[in-house]
Amino acid sequence: MTSDAGPLSLGDIRRGVECLLFVSPTPLTAREMALALEVDEALVERASRELVSRDPSQSGLMVREVAGGFQMATRPEYAVAVARFVGKRAQKLSRAALECLAIIAYNQPCTLPEVDAIRGVDSSGVVKSLLDKGLIRELGRKDAPGRPVLYGTTEEFLVYFGLKSLDDLPDQAVLEQMVSERAQAVLEGTEDASVEDARRMVEQVFPPDEQDPENGAQAGAGESLHPL
């Protein structure tokens, strides 16, 4: 792809990246955007990272790196206004769902009996709910009596928690503390937690990068941030 004046400049590529991210409902990789723009992937990667680190005072929109790609979203400080305009009712996640999700994330691939053994209760209904929400998926079957289904997390899980990859998960002991102590403190006296409550807990475990304070902002499944 070239402009009337010749090959695209980095500024042209940056604006092209913005256009692609604006129309995409899911994160895009640098390779996908490079193919669409017909430019070198390294230039797209550079342009995308410049958008990620852009001065937040310049726009109410932001580009964040998530799930191995890049995504455009509204900034979290405008979440209330955006949610009010969109009128989207917050999705609900039970404490049991948060526990199951944590167990699967740190022990994948794992089976339902293994989740049940850790939690001490039947988790079949909760696991089905997580499947329906697209946060986990079936990975196959374990070579064991009954050949139980193996479960693992999805790309949507990464998007939901604002993670680049599973390598960004914190130490398991930290997560266990979040589930056993912080979840109890936040959710005491209630049966369900909203996505916003869940994120608030997770943000205590996933502190924003000091060089990129917006990188820890969450998006997708709830109301903190709206992907575009």
Domains of the chain, start order = 2-86 (1.10.10.10), 92-205 (1.10.10.10)
If you average pLDDT over residues 217-224, what whole number do you get?
38
What percent of the residues of the chain are helix, what percent strand, and what percent coil, each to the nearest 5?
50, 15, 30
pLDDT tens digit string along 124-135? Answer: 999 998 998 889
Residue 172 banded pLDDT, cuts 50, 70, 90: low
Residue 44 banded pLDDT, cuts 50, 70, 90: very high
* Residues 6 or more apart in contact with residue 161 via CB below 8 angstroms: 202, 206, 218
CA dist., res. 138 & res. 64, Å (int): 28
Per-residue pLDDT for 118 more than 80? yes
List helix spans (H) across 142-194: 155-161, 172-177, 183-187
Tell me the whole-structure pTM to 2 decimals: 0.52
CA dist., res. 20 & res. 220, Å (int): 18
What the block records as the tokens of 62 is 């932001």
pLDDT tens digit string along 59-88? Answer: 888 998 888 899 998 888 887 777 777 654
Q: Which of 75-79, 152-156, 217-221 has the lowest mean pLDDT?
A: 217-221
| DSSP tag of 165 | S
